[in-house]
Chain A
Amino acid sequence: MSVLLPLILLSSLIPGIATFFVPEERARLRNTLNLGAALVKTSLVVALLVGVSQGELYEVRVALLPGVEFLLHADAWSLMFISLSSLLWLVTTLYAIGYLAHSRQRSRFFGFFSLCVFSTAGIALSGNLITFLIFYELLTLATYPLVVHKGTPESISAGRKYLAYTLFGGTLFLAGVVWLTAVAGPIEFSATGVLAGRSDLSPTLLQGIFLLLIAGLGVKAALVPLHSWLPASMVAPAPVSALLHAVAVVKAGAFGISRVVYDVYGVEFSAALGVTTPLAIAAAITILYGSTMALFQDGLKRRLAYSTVSQVSYIALGTAIAGPIATIGGIVHLVHQGLMKITLFFCAGNLDETLGITKVSQMNGVGRRMPWTMAAFTIAALGMIGVPPWRDSCRNGTSATAPWKAVPTG
């Protein structure tokens, strides 16, 4: 049954590569290919969910190097992240087909789009640090062509900024992973953390490595001060912004932080090392900073981007506070903010395409002209703020420990 894991990966990799070869004018073929792949993938993920709920174990190991394995597995967190990404991929593909109907280079766009989702699925399913690293870097590479898709000087320079941040983060993360592997052997994710029992390693060393890992992941999770690529990359087409912000990139960072704290270091051990408090402080600062900046943005997508900066840090904060309820809250938030934020970005894309509105100050009376879009926008925005019944009870449980969440996020 473990063949399901590679199949899930291939279900976005193969259509992605095939899309590159589809001639530009064959729009129907391309759309069928992409939607078909998204549907296949969603059904495979459903099969995986069913399998796991029946107690089936999924694991694939391939030797990558002597002593280093490429490891895929499915645990509860993988399932959460992969369900979210495959569902949102399906929706975003639908949206993007319409959004880009008259754009150029669509085969290139959808090809890299699928590679992005491939990398995200790989991140969700990776069972050790090196596998995570491989897909994490692949995600950086696959999103770059989407950020610079328009090819204008503006988007090229945004792409440069995006790469400068994410590749720098990737380097820090690589340094952390290699270092940890060199001193402690290959690190597999386990629910209790693998480093907890290792008394042979000096705490200072582990703190240093923790810093490298979190700083590396923090770039993608847009922790202040590593966040400024996110508003800059708003020049990308709306479906890309939606994907970058709601599903793939920022969530990969947040997901990685949870993996490191829980599955590598172990939650009690991280607390004992004293590394979670700085992380919580960084997350709290990011939440405040992102929300405040969002209030001052007139560009709609930029405002949403700052909102993402702040929202994603709730996940990091939930992780850092490190209680079981806070964790569930953080992870549920990952799903929740994914759904809401993607809606907001779709709406922003609609406003831009239909009415040419890109700024908040132009939005007077827009509800009358595009009632459905603005209805969706309102629902998502309320959900983002945390008004019941949008947020489920676990999430509200966390909010008791996180007083900052009352800050409005635009």
Chain B
Amino acid sequence: MSELMTGPALLAWLISLPLLGALASIALKHGGRWPALTVVIVNLGLACLLVASTQSAPLRYALGGWEAPLGIVLYADTLSAMMIGITALVGAVVSWYSLGYFAPGSSSERAFWPLWCLLLTALNTLFLSGDAFNLYVGLEILSLSAVALVTLSSGLEAIQAALRYLLVSLMGSLCYLLGVALLYQAYATLDLALLADVTGDGVLERAALALMVAGLLLKTALFPLHFWLPQAHAGAPAPVSALLSALVLKATFYLILRLWFDTLTEAATYLGALLLGLLGCAAILWGSLQALRAQRLKQLVAYSTVAQIGYLFALFPLLNDPRVADAAFDSVIYFVIAHACAKGAMFLAAGNILTAAGHGRLADLRAANLPSAITLFALAIAGVSLIGLPPTGGFIAKWLLLQSALQVGAWWLAGVVLLGGLLAAAYVFRVLAVCFDVSPPPTSMEASSQRTIVSAGRQWSALILALVALALGFLAAPVLDLFDANLVTD
């Protein structure tokens, strides 16, 4: 058993275990949460093992002993391990939260656990696949389970949002598949490592890269392709919003990163990176402004995601610059993990506020009908990390970004990032000011005196994710060491 768990077989376990969990939790109609929870906890342990075992060298595992190009290969370096790790961590905390969120035995609870396991399967598949078609399969499972999770919220709006999300996702997958087809007919292989060796910077590679990246951008919701996100993320149940915002978007972003910097490096031009960078800047500004105008709490948090995704892409021009590529990669990693924790915490806290107050209208929220200080601290710490103020993970990410930008003289980028921080402060403190406000709400609220009690587990799970975002501000050196150990980004 120990050999099975440590070597490259670890990669296979990381994918098959959540899949087994999904099947088991469908089979056990009323106790579906137990196999799911077991899987989530074991997955966290396996993720730690993976992070530890990729430190010396990347892992490679050929399924069934069939090497590429015939067989399918799983592959993990420190970047994949980092993504698996953050997914496992956020996933575990969100699962704890979900125990208190869904009423036991309700139809939404019974649907949630198998779907979440399926989502985890898809995420792990995407982070570990070394094969373009396998990735496509992972993308499809990811979209289908994510869309199904959005529909767990009853109400017409959620269904509409889910339908739009489904169509967008299918469109994105199709684009991606077209790109894969182009590569396959030219090179007769789907293995990413082999493709990296044979592809050049011809028209075909560029077209394939453009198609694949465009499809993934649609799924990652980079401005102006973000139109589907606010409704889907704001309309879903709180734990689902947390998973979608914190993890699902990061998975497709990770694929773009892989394709751009590992597989089709020669076809990826600086001009393309610059374009992505400009779109990222536009996303930062547009998302923040929309968050400032949002009427409802979860809408605000969802638009904040649009803005935060912008930071990831704003780094692309710097990633292409050899002078600062290393610092920029560190920054990307830090944005990804800090945002995963902070945004997860923020959606969970928002879910608590919605439950306690019975509504999410920012104008009518007052201190009196908010949940206890634990949730509010979670909200505040997560918010501070999103703004990028010290001492949080968000600050480290922003510091690295600004420093790299100024080193290569990208003033415009630094300016947008600083402005984005101010706008983020404005929308975050719109929410935090409510926590102190004791004045009577403008509309007569009969519900203002009563508040629903939110369970301690839901409050603490939100705070724990926020505290991780805070701890990331102190642990930057060791965390980045884990990541830098043997990264292959040539």
Contact = CB atoms under 8 A, between A and B. Distances in A.
Interface in A98-144: 108, 130, 133-134, 137-138, 140-141, 144
Interface stretch (B185-193, B218-226, B394-402): B394-402
A65 B476 contact: yes
Nearest to A108: B373
B391 A138 contact: yes
Contacts, number: 85
A160 B429 contact: yes
Interface stretch (A28-36, A88-96, A167-175, A244-252): A167-175
Nearest to A131: B390
A151 B437 contact: yes
B403 A181 contact: yes
Interface string A161-181: 001000110110011001101
A289 interface: no
A137 B436 contact: no
Interface string B358-381: 000000000100000100010000
B422 A151 contact: no
Given A181-B403, A183-B406, A163 B436 contact: no
Contacts of B436: 145, 148-149, 151, 155-156, 159
Interface string B400-431: 10110011000000100010011001000100
A137 B390 contact: yes
A254 B451 CA distance: 45
B400 A156 contact: no
B179 to A, nearest CB: 36
A291 B395 CA distance: 38
Given A65-B399, A153-B439, A175-B414, A148 B433 contact: yes
A170 B387 CA distance: 12
B403 A171 contact: no
Interface string A181-201: 111000000000000000000
B49 interface: no
Contacts of B384: 141
B373 A182 contact: no
A65 B396 CA distance: 8
B171 interface: no
A65 B432 CA distance: 30
B111 interface: no
A163 B389 CA distance: 13
A152 B433 CA distance: 11
Given A141-B389, A174-B418, A63 B477 contact: yes
B391 A134 contact: yes
B442 to A, nearest CB: 11
B414 A151 contact: no
B438 interface: yes
B480 interface: yes
A178 B414 contact: yes
A66 interface: yes
A20 B373 contact: yes
A64 interface: yes
Contacts of A153: 437, 439
Nearest to A168: B422
Contacts of B418: 171, 174-175
Task: Select the residue from A20, A138, A150, A179 with max chain B CB neighbours within 10 A.
Answer: A179
Contacts of B476: 64-65
Contacts of B330: 65-66
Nearest to A172: B418
Contacts of B432: 144
Contact of B402 (A65, A137, A170, A178): A178
A256 B399 CA distance: 20
A170 B424 CA distance: 14
Contacts of A20: 373, 377
B432 to A, nearest CB: 8
A182 B403 contact: yes
B414 A163 contact: no
Given A141-B389, A171-B421, A65 B406 contact: no
Contacts of B396: 64-65
A178 B425 CA distance: 19
A65 B477 contact: yes
Contacts of A170: 389
Interface in A240-264: none
Interface of B: 327, 330, 367, 373, 377, 384, 389-391, 395-396, 399-400, 402-403, 406-407, 414, 418, 421-422, 425, 429, 432-433, 436-439, 476-477, 480
26 contacts: A20-B377, A64-B476, A65-B477, A65-B480, A66-B327, A66-B477, A68-B399, A134-B390, A134-B395, A137-B389, A151-B436, A151-B437, A152-B438, A153-B437, A156-B439, A159-B436, A170-B389, A171-B418, A171-B421, A171-B422, A174-B421, A175-B414, A178-B399, A178-B402, A182-B406, A182-B407
Interface of A: 20, 63-66, 68, 108, 130, 133-134, 137-138, 140-141, 144-145, 148-153, 155-156, 159-160, 163, 167-168, 170-171, 174-175, 178-179, 181-183
Given A65-B476, A133-B390, A144-B432, 5 more contacts: A65-B477, A151-B437, A151-B439, A156-B436, A183-B407
